[in-house]
Amino acid sequence: MRASRDLWGRLTGVHNQQGDLTGKRLQNLKSILPDLRKIVTFYDPGNASATAAAKSAREAARELHVELVERHVASVEELRLGFQALQTREVDAYFYTNDAMVTSQAQFIIDTARAKRLPTIFATPGLVTQGALASYGVSFRDIGRLSAKYVQRILTGTNPQSLPVESVSRVVLAANLKTAREIGVTIPQELRLRADEVIQ
């Protein structure tokens, strides 16, 4: 225990403190699409965090009586080909599963989904400004701002050892009404009022 205390005494920085938001993310998608029956997700089964998130998505889908279609992809090429191959009305929406490779292709997924009139939900609020229908997760903008304050304090002479570890735990629900109109989805007023960010 002493070693652990000594280690924490030497740490500083910003900690992204959040639990598993997969289930709540799917609940929000269901709120947007009350008739939601079938969703698709893509992830690399060799990615441990992605498989853990997929398990959570499976459990949440079962509770909400939604069918989760899992597409395993091991490369960007497989992901792109698989997403392009989705047929109209094959699924009701795209659901993001935590996977860095998938995140790197977020704009491609957003653009392709919009062309197919397919609703999308991600974990990163910033992606809603890039055309995703909705997102639910911790804001990396908030993390960046807090991190910048740390850098500023250190550059102006503050000893890093005196700076405590701070956490960012605010979860942001965001929705894009422009995308909703383009793909023929009506976002309920109740969700608009709950949303932290609404893109007009």
10-39 pLDDT, tens digit each: 555 544 545 588 999 999 999 999 999 999
Q: Give the end-to-end CA distance of the chain in Å, rounded to a whole number.
A: 52
Q: What is the pLDDT of residue 5?
A: 43
How do residues 141-200 score in pLDDT, each as one tens digit?
544 454 445 555 555 666 666 655 555 467 899 999 999 999 999 999 999 999 999 999
d(CA 138, CA 85): 31
What ranges do the domains of the chain cover?
20-139+170-199
d(CA 57, CA 45): 14
Q: What is the pLDDT of residue 10?
A: 54
Amino acid (one-letter) located at 94: Y
Q: Average the pLDDT over each of 39-53, 54-68, 119-133, 139-153 and give the range with the smallest value.
A: 139-153
Query: Which two structure tokens, joined as six digits, stand for 190?
Result: 């109740």
How do residues 60-106 score in pLDDT, each as one tens digit?
999 999 999 999 999 999 999 999 999 988 999 999 999 999 999 99
d(CA 21, CA 38): 19
Q: What is the pLDDT of residue 41?
A: 98
Q: What is the pLDDT of residue 138?
A: 76
For residue 87, the 8-state DSSP code is P
- pLDDT category of residue 46 using cuts at 50, 70 and 90: very high
In this structure, CATH architecture of domain 20-139+170-199: 3-Layer(aba) Sandwich (3.40)
